[in-house]
Chains A and B, each alone.
Chain A
Amino acid sequence: MKIHEYQAKQLMAARGIPVPQGVVATTVDQAVAAVRPLVEETGNPVVVVKSQIHAGGRGKGRFREHPDLGGVNVVTAGIDGGIAAVEDKVRELATKMLGSTLETIQTGSEGKTVNTLYIEQGIDIAEELYLSVLLDRASSRNIVMASSEGGTEIEVVAAETPDKILKEEIDSAHGLLAFQAARLAHGLGLEGDALRNGAKFVQALSVAAVELDADMIEINPLVVTTDGRVMALDGKMSFEANALYRHPDVMGMRDVSEEDPAEAAATEHGLSFIKLDGTIGCMVNGAGLAMATMDIIKFFGAEPANFLDVGGGATADKITEAFKLITADPNVKGILVNIFGGIMKCDTIAEGVVEAVGEVGLEVPLVVRLEGTNVELGKRIIDESGLNVVNAADMKDGANKIVELTS
């Protein structure tokens, strides 16, 4: 689960990790009202108006409705014009940004609607760095990763200048040790106050990541201010679904408007569903087989419309829900059901399919491949149902048939 930048900063601030001061706004008036207290409290006339969406690349992104406007805007009007000038500019920006669609490299051409702004104090930046905490799958440990190349995507740094990436392992028995944090801060070239503050920041962030069960925390950029402070100028956090049950505070930060409605509905019914752009809907048991079913559709020259794993214990109800999800997509021209029933019996699946078709209706070709326990019984149920369903001998046959029937 992803959260917004301002929420990540709230979680950090609550753990003593330095972040700039900011105010959340969902209306133009709230945005304008945020300006005066912020400027007065920080003594800095510069404020930044940041779009809050679950995607990166906001600064370089552009609004569909305002092609010359980026997703993150620095307001410097206050340097000469005072607070009133800042308020005017923030009003103008917020009016344009709220409710508009921001397209970034990560959102693609679909873009994302900006419903929330974060009005943040300006920071006098001396240096931009990169810092993240994430799982290193090869070692099965969490690691802290840092680079002096702040502001640049870490994948680019990794590809072009891999020697600029520093890593420290977090041992789950005793956490990141002070000397490891100091080694990272040294490696980033920090000195004096910045060195001390940087090491402290790294250690606090590693503790927060473990405590919060964060999947990944990425601070890009992490900035050193002109007076030697170290703070998170941006902050991205994502959380592992399996551990959310022990973090109700984080769960409360879920923004359903950022999620695909079909995927969210699937989760409600215990289905694993991902919407794709193709025309062949598929319903499969098992994640590996579901992925391979998408692949085999492509192998025969068509594109899958979705990933859908109904799991090991699918009931007729679940199958009906799965059918609803698939048929709700207007792009779907045909459906492939691919089941290898192990513990799950093929006759149960067949009954579920017949019931689902009865309830949801069927306007596109349907190919069913059943294998495993009670397969003959399952095929008979399909045959005797009188529905326009094509049986397939195996997975390859099924994929071939559905692609032929839809092309």
Chain B
Amino acid sequence: MSILINADTKVLVQGMGRTGRFHTDKAIAYGTQMVGAVHPSKAGTVEKYTGETDHSGVAGRPDTYDVDVPIYRSVAEAKDATGATTSVVYVPPPFAADAIMEAAEAGLELVICITEGIPVADMVKAKRYLEDGSTRLVGPNCPGVITPGECKIGIMPGYIHQPGRIGVVSRSGTLTYEAVYQLTTIGLGQTTAVGIGGDPVNGTNFVDVLSLFNADPATEGVIMIGEIGGTAEEEAAAWIGEHMTKPVSGFIAGTTAPPGKRMGHAGAIISGGMGTADAKISALLEAGVTIAPTPSDLGSAMVEAMG
């Protein structure tokens, strides 16, 4: 079992530029069902992907792959033609929010937006638009979602993952890799790893993912990785205290971050004394979360939390 995506997930790509094509190739190598792409001016053509299979992904495949990805005019058309339920967005920042709204209008279940640098006002609008439907957005400014051995959507390296028992949810890409790699090394593996992104306005939040992991029978524990800025971790702590039945360990980045400065991520800023790492850590500790003192301790903190 897993959350959000699995071996049956059919995926569309929005944004077939250099980045989009590169990661489409990696996803196909991993075994993800990349069934179509959207590009208004290339509609009707086919993109060909061939190469060597990434055997850290879906098991039981030949050593090479040769896959055609048809290009469609719109998300709606691509969805009708392929039966896809999910899209991944690599569209450049000025047009990415529109791509998200188009996917929602077409009625996709899940949109995963990798793009970094979308104007906040555009995301405020997109989020308001999504309120009227049932489409779930993950991201933007995130590495994506992976269910190891089944489906990889996004820019994470597949081979550091391993099918297993722990759910991972994080605002940071590279810190997710740290956690995942340690879980793989100690043999716990992952059910699904979800990057929710480093932007101040994002789709799916900690609480959403925690509740999905809580309901997933295969997930035995959860690692959550937060950072300074906003109150999403505090909200997660409150939810964990009330509802979470599984052990949670965590890490919060930015203990040493100076106030008023954006630390790389648009959302990572302490403003007016709000959003400090200390406040987040104490809220999580109070909710019974095992806090890793450094990112190198994420794996052992999970083992400790599982008792």
In contact, A296 and B295 (Cβ under 8 angstroms): yes
* Contact segment of A25-33, A69-77, A238-246: A238-246
Interface presence of B283 (CB below 8 A): no
In contact, B251 and A292 (Cβ under 8 angstroms): yes
Instruction: Known contacts A135-B200, A274-B263, A342-B174; decide if A298 and B255 are in contact (CB<8 Å).
Output: yes
Interface presence of B109 (CB below 8 A): no
Q: Distance in Å from the Cβ of B22 to the closest Cβ of chain A?
A: 8
Instruction: Known contacts A140-B127, A396-B297; decide if A288 and B265 are in contact (CB<8 Å).
Output: yes
A207 contact set on B, CB distance < 8 A:
none
In contact, B198 and A288 (Cβ under 8 angstroms): yes
Instruction: Known contacts A243-B121, A274-B263, A340-B174; decide if A138 and B231 are in contact (CB<8 Å).
Output: yes
Residue of A nearest to B124 (CB): A172
Q: Distance in Å from the Cβ of A388 to the closest Cβ of chain B?
A: 24
Instruction: Known contacts A137-B230, A137-B267, A342-B155; decide if A288 and B171 are in contact (CB<8 Å).
Output: yes
In contact, B119 and A137 (Cβ under 8 angstroms): no
Q: In the bound complex, what is the Cα–Cα distance between A25 and B230 (angstroms)? A: 39
Interface presence of B256 (CB below 8 A): yes
Instruction: Known contacts A172-B128, A295-B294; decide if A243 and B120 are in contact (CB<8 Å).
Output: yes
Interface presence of A304 (CB below 8 A): yes
In contact, B253 and A291 (Cβ under 8 angstroms): yes
Q: In the bound complex, what is the Cα–Cα distance between A6 and B213 (angstroms)? A: 51
Which residues, 231 to 280 on B, are CB-close (under 8 Å) to A? Answer: 231-232, 235, 251, 253-258, 261, 263-268, 272-273, 277
Q: In the bound complex, what is the Cα–Cα distance between A299 and B255 (angstroms)? A: 10
A142 contact set on B, CB distance < 8 A:
124
- Mark interface residues in A293-322 (1 if CB within 8 Å of B CB, else 0): 011111100011001010010000000000
In contact, A138 and B227 (Cβ under 8 angstroms): no
Interface presence of B173 (CB below 8 A): yes
Interface presence of A362 (CB below 8 A): no
- Mark interface residues in A370-381 (1 if CB within 8 Å of B CB, else 0): 011100000000
Residue of A nearest to B268 (CB): A287
Instruction: Known contacts A154-B272, A155-B272; decide if A135 and B201 are in contact (CB<8 Å).
Output: yes
Interface presence of A272 (CB below 8 A): yes
Which residues, 65 to 116 on B, are CB-close (under 8 Å) to A? Answer: 93-94
Q: Distance in Å from the Cβ of B3 to the closest Cβ of chain A?
A: 21
In contact, B264 and A155 (Cβ under 8 angstroms): no
A14 contact set on B, CB distance < 8 A:
none
Interface size counted on chain A using CB atoms at 8 A: 55
A138 contact set on B, CB distance < 8 A:
230-231, 235
In contact, A286 and B231 (Cβ under 8 angstroms): no
In contact, A137 and B231 (Cβ under 8 angstroms): yes
In contact, B227 and A288 (Cβ under 8 angstroms): yes
Interface presence of B157 (CB below 8 A): yes
In contact, A287 and B172 (Cβ under 8 angstroms): yes
Q: In the bound complex, what is the Cα–Cα distance between A345 and B94 (angstroms)? A: 29
In contact, A288 and B120 (Cβ under 8 angstroms): no
Q: In the bound complex, what is the Cα–Cα distance between A173 and B200 (angstroms)? A: 19
In contact, A290 and B263 (Cβ under 8 angstroms): yes
A288 contact set on B, CB distance < 8 A:
170-175, 198, 225, 227, 253, 264-265, 268
Q: In the bound complex, what is the Cα–Cα distance between A130 and B125 (angstroms)? A: 27
B294 contact set on A, CB distance < 8 A:
292, 295-296, 299, 395-396, 399
Question: Which of B123, B231, B265 is within 8 Å of A287, CB to CB?
Answer: B265
- Mark interface residues in B292-307 (1 if CB within 8 Å of A CB, else 0): 0111110000000000
Interface presence of B11 (CB below 8 A): no
In contact, B231 and A173 (Cβ under 8 angstroms): no
In contact, B177 and A342 (Cβ under 8 angstroms): yes
Q: Distance in Å from the Cβ of A298 to the closest Cβ of chain B?
A: 5
In contact, B293 and A299 (Cβ under 8 angstroms): yes
A285 contact set on B, CB distance < 8 A:
174
A341 contact set on B, CB distance < 8 A:
157
Q: In the bound complex, what is the Cα–Cα distance between A295 and B292 (angstroms)? A: 12
Residue of A nearest to B272 (CB): A155
In contact, B256 and A295 (Cβ under 8 angstroms): yes
B174 contact set on A, CB distance < 8 A:
284-286, 288-289, 340, 342
Interface presence of B160 (CB below 8 A): yes
Interface presence of A258 (CB below 8 A): no
Residue of B nearest to A158 (CB): B272
Tell me if A's interface is mostly helix, strand, loop or mixed.
mixed
In contact, A312 and B155 (Cβ under 8 angstroms): yes
Interface presence of A355 (CB below 8 A): no
Residue of B nearest to A307 (CB): B263
Instruction: Known contacts A287-B198, A343-B157; decide if A395 and B266 are in contact (CB<8 Å).
Output: no
B258 contact set on A, CB distance < 8 A:
274, 276
In contact, A291 and B119 (Cβ under 8 angstroms): no
Interface presence of B12 (CB below 8 A): no
Interface presence of A141 (CB below 8 A): yes
In contact, B119 and A240 (Cβ under 8 angstroms): yes
Q: In the bound complex, what is the Cα–Cα distance between A229 and B261 (angstroms)? A: 36
Interface presence of A329 (CB below 8 A): no
Which residues, 199 to 246 on B, are CB-close (under 8 Å) to A? Answer: 200-201, 225, 227-232, 235
Q: In the bound complex, what is the Cα–Cα distance between A140 and B131 (angstroms)? A: 11
In contact, A213 and B201 (Cβ under 8 angstroms): no
Question: Which of A171, A286, A297, A372 is within 8 Å of B172, CB to CB?
Answer: A286
- Mark interface residues in A241-278 (1 if CB within 8 Å of B CB, else 0): 01101100000000000000000000000001010100
Q: In the bound complex, what is the Cα–Cα distance between A290 and B118 (angstroms)? A: 21
Q: In the bound complex, what is the Cα–Cα distance between A397 and B268 (angstroms)? A: 26
Which residues, 157 to 190 on A, are CB-close (under 8 Å) to B? Answer: 158, 171-173
Interface presence of B181 (CB below 8 A): yes
Q: A295-B277, A299-B294, A307-B257 are in contact. List 8 more A-B contacts (CB 8 A).
A: A172-B121, A274-B263, A287-B172, A287-B265, A288-B172, A295-B256, A312-B155, A312-B173
Query: What are 19 A-to-B residue pairs whose CB atoms are below 8 Å?
Result: A135-B120, A137-B200, A172-B121, A172-B125, A213-B119, A243-B121, A285-B174, A287-B198, A288-B265, A290-B263, A290-B264, A291-B254, A292-B295, A294-B257, A295-B294, A340-B178, A342-B155, A372-B181, A396-B294
State the B residues within 8 Å of A (CB): 93-94, 117-125, 127-128, 143, 155-157, 159-160, 170-175, 177-178, 181, 198, 200-201, 225, 227-232, 235, 251, 253-258, 261, 263-268, 272-273, 277, 293-297
The 10 tightest CB contacts between A and B, nearest first, are A288-B172, A287-B264, A286-B174, A243-B119, A396-B296, A289-B174, A342-B157, A291-B253, A288-B175, A137-B230
